[in-house]
Structure 1
Amino acid sequence: MTLDRAGSAPNKHAIVDARVIVTCPGRNFVTVRIETRGGVHGIGDATLNGRELAVASYLTDHVLPCLIGRDARQIEDIWQFFYRGAYWRRGPVTMTAIAAVDVALWDIKAKTAGMPLYDLLGGASRRGVMVYGHANGGTIDETIEQARHYRAMGYKAIRLQSGVPGLAATYGVSRDKLFYEPADSARPTEQVWSTAKYLPTVPKLFEAAREALGWEVHLLHDVHHRLTPIEAGRLGKDLEPFRPFWLEDCTPAENQESFRLIRQHTTTPLAVGEVFNSVWDAKQLIDEQLIDYIRTTLVHAGGISHVRRIAHLAELNNVRTGFHGATDLSPACMGAALHFDLWVPNFGIQEYMRHTAETDAVFPHAYTFDQGELHPGDAPGHGVDIDEKLAATFPYRAASLPISRLEDGTMSDW
């Protein structure tokens, strides 16, 4: 029996159960479920697309056994324990595991307090969370048709991705128009990429979009790390007449100084960070105001406790949040992100790629969409749970992200 420090009675906040749930309702998700002696439970997303089982193993073998008996209220101490206690710090596997625990503990704390998570964080800063949808098609005309559909659904912001003439496959273009799942086979498929063919198509896409949609809708585009800094600067300059909301992940950000060169050549707003794992990945970008939006997501950067630090640093430097929100993030992450978005003072926008009906059934949630905005709901906690019996009917299925090669066979960034 675990006693409190006074040795008087069992601590109802002590963690008595912590486990990993792997399920595949259309795509793979990894979820952590933590329960206290008082019967309060919380869940956190631990999905790392294409590397799900690595995180599940890290949690099962190294993290969750250390939780049993700890006080679930001590979120900061637990975060520091798993971060500082691991000699090999950071990285996507470690930080995703820490994030899952952290979000589950915040879920428990808010439920214990009887309030929605955003109230626990400090209260709502806005009525709702502006989100953007993904319009894509094999041609510019098909993409514009999808963009009209999103606008009719009430979206105020739309990401535009279209096929590139001469390339068999293009990032962001899929058969499913509301869902996009790039992990398409057990072993990575290989796609061919050409920057020379790509660069002329994006300005044409934006010109057609402005003509069809007008100037009231926000337009976004994701380059997916495929350009050099000078190529990114050229594309940003070409897009300036069409006033994009942002140009996303225009070059790999391992070298943060790369963005200084891009800044010298364009005033198009820049967004980056969905693959970042810590504040150190973004520190120079934020400190020097080399970006306009930080896209770091709760699930891959240590959860609410750490991303809150990133957001505060960003606020000091006029950088807004623009969290990643693709289908590979479970509703548990989306729910927590929406509470964070509703609270955080320097909010910019939230990506919202809808989940399938099967995923929504496995993860019942309180958040709702209306006229281009999401609201997390007012249920205690982050408002998302998991139906474990239903989850068990969708076993894990191996799925890998593609890789990309240039036309001459050279490996490139996917």
Structure 2
Amino acid sequence: MNIKQVKVFVSSPGRNFVTVKIITESGIYGVGDATLNGREMAVAAMLEEHIAPCLIGRNAHDIEDIWQYLYKGVYWRRGPVNMAAIAAIDMALWDIKGKVANLPVYQLLGGKSRKGVNLYAHASGEDVDSTLEKAQELVKKGFKAIRLQSAIPGLSVTYGVLGDKKDYFELQGSRPLPPEETWSTAKYFDMVENLFAKGRELLGNDIHLLHDVHSRLTPIESARLGKLLEPYNLLFLEDASIAENQNSYDVIRQHTTTPLAIGETYNTLWDCKNLIEEQRVDYIRAAATHAGGITGMRRIGDFANVHNVKTAPHGAPDLSPICFAAHMHLNLHAPNFGIQEFVGFDNAGLNTLFSHDFTVENGMAFIPDKPGLGVDFNEEAASKYPYKRSYLPVSRLEDGTVWNW
């Protein structure tokens, strides 16, 4: 089962995706997601110029050896570009192995721990009332866990809130540059408690509520927020602060019992090792595309399980259905799975490129028992959606200081 060809596709069906297809000499192939939002071509070059030539002729079944070869052998370990490239290769190899075995990937991991995967959906609006209207709509659709995000009065843009506005990807023209957004912690605090006080009163106690700070606060500010939100019993508070200094979460932890989640920018276990083993967080939110694929995510999940930390994989719209499928197989298997972020796949162009049979019922996701990952990629359709250069926004304080986005 030797590798014959590694193909890399960069397409833009509404936003950019980097997709890998590994073809074996027998004709069986697998697909993987290598998307790194705002740095897509860096990963594509890593794959085409550096990784693909090293894989030709290797046995596609040797997933662990290939993972170690690409991780240790490069010498320059870790990093988002390198790990996204490794992730796509890893997913594609698991896809191949499942197809050869005629089993879904979760069976190769050891089988199911649950019948379906609990999801949390996003409710966001131009003010608190419109956010809660959308939350009620999601409850009617069966979702039992909802992330609440509301625009901040006095700021032109708020993370996670689009309403009728175009997102940053759509706003960029023929020569895009990073859009800039303004942040005010004081104005945020004026809004956020009201959002959850009204949200809990309106939605009741049976709905799980979540919130994403997106690393806008300092640790002591996050401690204040966690304590402020304790009466509203959040499932978790996400990315309260940057944790490049992992000791920062000691400050938050000692002041609040609100559960904490972090990890969507992490690339390896080493990025979150201390946070997990010191039980400074309750949920780890790494993504398969950014953290070394199924193999890398399984390491993180197993380590977290030992320390009573649950998994809650990142599920942003820049992660393709291939990544979502990888998460589904991991989530079905992992005994310490918590919840999966879900934004849906309503983009018509996206579904032209990626064929899948995901279903959602009563706030839970299900996948059919197809061999491998259960997702396919349409090369011909991808050629109709050429790459469009795009950047993530840059955040600044009101005085102009560059801040965390």
State the TM-score bracket (shorter-chain normalisation): over 0.9
Consecutive unaligned residues in structure 2, runs of 5 or more: none
Whether the 8 Å CA contact 2:168–2:393 is kept in 1: the answer is no
Shift of 1:363: 0.3
Shift of 1:369: 1.0
CA distance in 1, matches of 2:189, 2:148: 14
Where in structure 2 are the equivalents of 1:12-27 lying within 5 Å?
13-27=1-15
Whether the 8 Å CA contact 1:376–1:382 is kept in 2: the answer is no
CA distance in 2, matches of 1:166, 1:354: 30
Q: Does the C-alpha gap of structure 1 residues 29 and 255 become closer, same or farther in structure 2, counting only changes over 3 Å?
A: same
The residue identity in structure 1 corresponding to 2:378 is D
Residue by residue over 1:298-326, the C-alpha shift from the partner in whole angstroms, topping out at 9 and shown as x without a partner, is: 10011111111111110000000000001
CA distance in 2, matches of 1:161, 1:180: 15
Aligned with 1:392 (options 383, 386, 396): 383
Where in structure 2 are the equivalents of 1:130-279 lying within 5 Å?
130-175=118-163, 184-185=171-172, 186-279=176-269
Whether the 8 Å CA contact 1:218–1:245 is kept in 2: the answer is yes
Q: Does the C-alpha gap of structure 1 residues 149 and 182 become closer, same or farther in structure 2, counting only changes over 3 Å?
A: farther
Q: Secondary structure at the match of 1:199?
A: helix
Identity in percent: 55
CA distance in 1, matches of 2:113, 2:168: 32
TM-score normalised per structure 2:
0.97
Aligned residue for 2:368? 377
CA distance in 2, matches of 1:319, 1:202: 26
Aligned with 1:280 (options 270, 274, 277): 270
Where in structure 2 are the equivalents of 1:100-119 lying within 5 Å?
100-119=88-107
2:337 aligned with 1:347:
yes
Residue by residue over 1:342-368, the C-alpha shift from the partner in whole angstroms, topping out at 9 and shown as x without a partner, is: 001100000011131210221001221
CA distance in 1, matches of 2:362, 2:143: 6
CA distance in 1, matches of 2:291, 2:394: 23
RMSD of aligned C-alpha atoms? 1.2
2:71 aligned with 1:83:
yes
Q: Does the C-alpha gap of structure 1 residues 166 and 401 become closer, same or farther in structure 2, counting only changes over 3 Å?
A: same
CA distance in 1, matches of 2:305, 2:278: 13
The residue identity in structure 1 corresponding to 2:277 is D
Q: Does the C-alpha gap of structure 1 residues 340 and 369 become closer, same or farther in structure 2, counting only changes over 3 Å?
A: same
Shift of 1:175: 3.1
Q: How many residues align?
A: 401
The residue identity in structure 2 corresponding to 1:157 is A
CA distance in 1, matches of 2:178, 2:184: 19
Q: Secondary structure at the match of 2:22?
A: strand
Q: Secondary structure at the match of 1:89?
A: coil
Runs of 4+ displaced beyond 3 Å: 179-184
Residue by residue over 1:135-174, the C-alpha shift from the partner in whole angstroms, topping out at 9 and shown as x without a partner, is: 0001000100110111111111110000001101000001
Aligned residue for 2:328? 338
2:54 aligned with 1:66:
yes
Shift of 1:176: 5.9
Whether the 8 Å CA contact 1:154–1:370 is kept in 2: the answer is yes
Whether the 8 Å CA contact 2:136–2:203 is kept in 1: the answer is yes
Q: Secondary structure at the match of 2:376?
A: coil
The residue identity in structure 1 corresponding to 2:93 is L
CA distance in 1, matches of 2:19, 2:90: 12
TM-score normalised per structure 1:
0.95
